[in-house]
Amino acid sequence: MKARINTFIKNILYTPKPLPVGNYQAILKIDTGPSYRLHLRIEDHGLGTLILNASTIMHLNTTAAEFAYHLIKQTPVETVVAEVMKRYRVTPEEAAQDFQDFKDRLESLVSTPDLDPETFLNIDRVDLHQHKMSAPLRLDCALTYQVSEGSASVYAPVDRVKQLLDTKEWKQILKNAWDAGIPHIVFTGGEPTLRPDVPELITFAEELGQVSGLITDGTRLSEKDYLQQLLMAGLDHLMIVLNPQSEQSWEAVRDLINEDIFLTVHLTLSNKNKNEFDKILTKLNQFQIKSLSLSAETLELWKLLPQYTQKAVELGFSLVWDLPVPYSALNPIALELESQNSTVDGAGASWLYVEPDGDILAGQGIPTVLGNFLTDSWQKIWTEAKLLKYG
């Protein structure tokens, strides 16, 4: 009797230890499936970020983060069940089933074609901005502020750039980012594909373990060999900045639909296309585009955008607001910063922005330089970012 009472009291007073903060990785087989490459980052508030095969990022709540931790550590199932029972006051059957469901979810994600590069497991995207992270979740790399021939560059702040980094220097930035715990890289500009080393940089990010994306006007993607080179390099997602008046731009979208890569289309409401905007949305829907990013050319047009946003939702598009659309005449960045609160919320916390000379900003169009990723320590840069963000 006394032993049972002591056990009962011990269970009531049990205070589970928090999971150890840090980065964990492993290559392992889940049940009878193929081997997976897993990289987990656990924050001091218990949330986790799990990278699957350097191609998909899962943002995890505390329970899922614990399952991922034990999976990487190859903790025996009986021990996992016992730990989860104590921490969350569930039955052994519930703990075992939840752990199995988590493993099944991983297998499903890895085997799904055209997978969204980010998934959120029982956690809201906005919630991430409310926590102080050990490092950003994404680094946006403006490889150049050059734009394609015939595209106005009035909004690109070319006067800010002291020099253009070479391939070796960009690789060092990617390595510095990985060492800091940043799992996601987005290559943008200007027009990033004007640089010949984009496939090489994507390959390097893939070898490190990072998820990589590319934002482009699509001009070079009509070159089938170049497109295949990007895909073979390990590119995980693409955003096409669509010019609805350009058949070449539409051709890039058509070519990508049949490829195994997650595609987002960015569309800017302008005076040239406002009368055709509904038809453009319908055409994209007929192309079976699933992910859409929207902006407006002027503040006056921005006031009209909600009606088109509603139309996009009704057509079944998922809307993306936080990717750094390249500087161009169709993307007045100051207007976007003024209007997209979610973008501002994440800048300097969930992501940082690197200019073509290596200078770090909290986000695209935010002028305060936090340091340089080649010449300053990560600790200095991240401290400056948190001071700017939180004061």
- Contacts of 193-200 with C-beta under 8 Å, sequence gap 24+, read 193/219, 193/220, 193/221, 193/226, 194/144, 194/146, 194/147, 194/148, 195/143, 195/144, 197/167, 197/170, 198/143, 198/230, 199/229, 199/230, 199/233, 200/167, 200/233
Q: What are phi and psi for residue 14, nearest 5 degrees?
A: -65, 125
CA distances (Å), origin 39, targets 73, 353, 365:
11, 23, 31
Confidence of residue 342 (pLDDT cuts 50, 70, 90): very low
In the prediction, which pLDDT does 16 show?
59
User: What token pair was written down for 55?
Assistant: 């191609």
Q: CA torsion angle for 66, 71, 74, 77 (degrees, to 10)?
A: 80
pLDDT-above-70 percentage for the chain: 84
Window from 41-55, 105-119, 337-351 with minimum mean pLDDT: 337-351
Q: DSSP assignment of 230-274, as one string? A: HHHHT--EEEEE--TT-HHHHHHHHHHHTSSSEEEEEEEE-TTTG
Q: How far apart are CA 367 and CA 39, in angstroms?
A: 33
For the chain, domain boundaries = 2-121, 125-390
Candidate from 27-31, 76-80, 216-220, 261-265 with smallest mean pLDDT: 27-31
pLDDT (tens digit, 9 = 90+) per residue, 286-338? Answer: 999 999 988 888 878 888 888 998 999 999 998 887 787 776 555 544 445 44
CATH ID of 125-390, from 3.20.20.70, 3.30.2230.10, 3.40.50.280, 1.20.1440.130? 3.20.20.70
Nearest of 297, 372, 294, 360 to residue 328 by alpha carbon = 297
Q: Where are the alpha helices (DSSP H) in the chain?
A: 2-13, 62-73, 77-88, 92-110, 167-180, 198-208, 224-233, 247-257, 277-286, 299-302, 305-315, 333-339, 341-346, 378-390
> Is the four-CA dihedral 124, 130, 132, 136 of positive or negative sign?
positive
DSSP designation for 153: -
Separation between Cα atoms, residue 363 and residue 40, nearest integer Å: 25
Q: Is it the case that residue 5 has pLDDT exceeding 50?
A: no
Residue 28 has pLDDT above 50, yes or no: yes
